[in-house]
Structure 1
Amino acid sequence: MLTGKQKSFLRSEAHHLQPIFQVGKGGVNQAMIKQIEEALEARELLKVSILQNNDDDKKEVATALAEGTGADLVQLIGSTIVLYKESVNNKKIILPKAKA
């Protein structure tokens, strides 16, 4: 679970990123979750955009992606989701320490 300070840090890190996945009419499926998991392992932080032709609730899409990939939902702003998952082999992002 991320603290507010860590989420704020990750939002600033994600600001310049472009979405690399799109959730369209088909919604969230297992193949998409698998691809996002692999991308998170490589990048740790990524954006996913929800297309206008998707009829699902944006919060439900964001929650389904976060739970399916085991990632933390950093932000849902408009139709853009920011996900973070600490990488096992490609650790790049050092989060601010949580206060005890």
Structure 2
Amino acid sequence: MLTGKQKRFLRSKAHHLTPIFQVGKGGVNENMIKQIADVLEARELIKVSILQNCDEDRDTVAEQLSRGAKAELVQVIGNTIVLYKESRENKQLVLPR
């Protein structure tokens, strides 16, 4: 579980990122969750955008992605979700205490 200070730090780091995944009409599926988990292992912090034609609520999508990829939900702002998962192999971000 992330503290408020850690979430603030991660939000500042994610500000300059561009979304690398898009959730569309098909919604969230197993293949997407697996790909997001792999990318989180490589990058630790990613943005996912939700397209206008997505049938599900943005909070539902965020919950499904974070639970499926076993990642921390940092922020949901507009139609953008920020996810964080500490990498085992190549750790890049050092969170404040």
**Amino acid of the structure 2 residue aligned with 1:62:** A
C-alpha RMSD of the superposition: 0.3
> 1:8, CA displacement in angstroms?
0.2
Partners of 1:69 and 1:77 in 2: how far apart?
Answer: 19
Partners of 1:90 and 1:55 in 2: how far apart?
Answer: 35
Paired residues, what number? 97
Question: What's 1:31 paired with?
Answer: 31
Question: What's 1:68 paired with?
Answer: 68
Partners of 2:72 and 2:91 in 1: how far apart?
Answer: 16
Partners of 2:63 and 2:78 in 1: how far apart?
Answer: 15
Question: What's 1:77 paired with?
Answer: 77
- Percent sequence identity over aligned pairs: 70
Unaligned runs of 5+ in 2: none
Task: Spell out, residue by residue over 1:23-64, the C-alpha distance to the aligned partner (whole angstroms, 9 max, x if none).
Answer: 000000000000000000000000000000001010000000
Task: Spell out, residue by residue over 1:66-89, the C-alpha distance to the aligned partner (whole angstroms, 9 max, x if none).
Answer: 000000000000000000000000
Give the TM-score of the pair, scaled to structure 2.
Answer: 0.99
4+ residue runs of structure 1 moved beyond 3 angstroms?
Answer: none
Give the TM-score of the pair, scaled to structure 1.
Answer: 0.96
Unaligned runs of 5+ in 1: none
Question: What's 1:46 paired with?
Answer: 46
**Amino acid of the structure 1 residue aligned with 2:93:** I
